Structure 1
Amino acid sequence: MRPSKKVLTLPLRILSIALLIGVAMKILAWPMATEIMFFCFATVGLLYGYRFWKKPTKQFMDYNKLIMVSFWAVNGIFNLLDLPYTLFFQAIIAISFILWFVLEGATYFINGDLKSTNKSLQLLWNLAMVFGTLAIISGSLLKILNWEYAISLLAMGVAIVCAYIFRDTFVGSGLQNDDSNNGEYQL
């Protein structure tokens, strides 16, 4: 059984990279950070809505993901514009995320690993993603505390996560097995 081709995957991944760079720019207090983030949040919300609309069959999890992404995008815009009621959006995001994680989350991550033909290389990339995420979090917190190497750590984390997303977008198909009759069953 082959999964259906998802619409607009590449633009959504590129927008996630741009949003990540915009967040780093906001932390570093660079100009145009708010505008970049606003554009990314608005475009992700619109593109994901269009992606949902183009999906031929919709199930409960599809509606749940639409609610989660839409409210995340609106929450991001409300936070950027300092508008009230962001707590309402965050509560809806939390509920939909918990629903997604309980109903589909673990299998989503497990199935992604079963498709890989080079498991050690995939493991290294996943470790790099975890390290990059931790570097972003640590660099952000250390920047708030005005520590010496905070910007270097933040920049390194953003570069690693962007490289992971680029690799997953443009080279990811080379790491997956094209033979669907390999005898392995996915959960």
Structure 2
Amino acid sequence: MPKKDKILKIPLRISLTIILLGMLLKVLLWPYAKEIVLFGFANTGILYVFRHFNKPQRKFIDTVKLVLVLSWTINGIVRVLDFQHTLFLQIIVGIAFMTWFVMEGTAYFLDEDKKAKNQKLQVIWNFAIVIGALAIIAGSLLNVLNWPYAIPLLVLGIALIAGYILKDLFIKDKIQNKDGSNEEFQL
């Protein structure tokens, strides 16, 4: 039975990628970086509100996710606009994240069909996300220390993470059309 796609999944992923790219442009001191980040945060918040209210049945965890996303996006907008006293929003983000993690946590990322296959392409993408996260951490730390090649390392990390977020746009058909000769047939 095919899994139902989540509402507004692709536009939300594009919004998250816009936020990442805007932050990268801000680090590189390029023009219009602030506006791109603001657009990404606002778009993410608006799209997630529509996603939440378009769900046929809402549970408590859905409301926790809505509070998490809205407080995170509002905090991002307020921080980009250089407003003071954002501690309240950061506390809400922290409480909502901890609530989500306790209720759902890493189970959110598990395969619902319990048929996860370690295909080469999926292993490569998982490796890319780890390398991207490590590159962002190392690039950020090295940038604080004013070391050479910190910015290219940060750019590489953000590009890998953005590619991972958008990977379903590029490889979804290749994974779904994979030969299913090892699977059972249901009559």
Shorter-chain TM-score range:
0.7 to 0.9
Give the Cα separation in 2 of the matches to 1:125 and 1:50.
29
State how 1:1-187 maps to structure 2 within 5 Å.
3-111=3-111, 114-172=114-172, 174-175=174-175
Task: Write the letter of the residue equivalent to 1:106.
Answer: T
Bigger drift between 122-131 and 68-77 goes to 122-131
Give the Cα separation in 2 of the matches to 1:37 and 1:99.
27
Offset of residue 174 of structure 1 = 3.4
Contact 1:135 1:157 in 2 (8 A): yes
CA separation of 1:116 and 1:168: change in aligned 2, threshold 3 A: farther
Q: How many pairs were matched up?
A: 181
Give the Cα separation in 1 of the matches to 2:128 and 2:112.
16
Give the Cα separation in 2 of the matches to 1:24 and 1:113.
36
Give the Cα separation in 1 of the matches to 2:6 and 2:138.
34
Residues 62-106 of structure 1 deviation map (CA, whole Å, 9 limit, x = unaligned): 000000000000000110111123111111111111111111112
Offset of residue 13 of structure 1 = 0.7
Offset of residue 60 of structure 1 = 0.5
Offset of residue 113 of structure 1 = 9.2
Give the Cα separation in 2 of the matches to 1:11 and 1:169.
11
Offset of residue 115 of structure 1 = 4.3
Structure 1: 4+ residue segments shifted above 6 A: none
Percent identity over paired residues: 46
Contact 1:19 1:40 in 2 (8 A): yes
Higher-helix-fraction structure: 1
Bigger drift between 75-84 and 165-174 goes to 165-174
How much is the aligned-residue C-alpha RMSD, in angstroms?
2.2
Q: Partner of 1:170: helix, strand, or coil?
A: helix
Offset of residue 3 of structure 1 = 4.4
TM-score by length of 1: 0.86
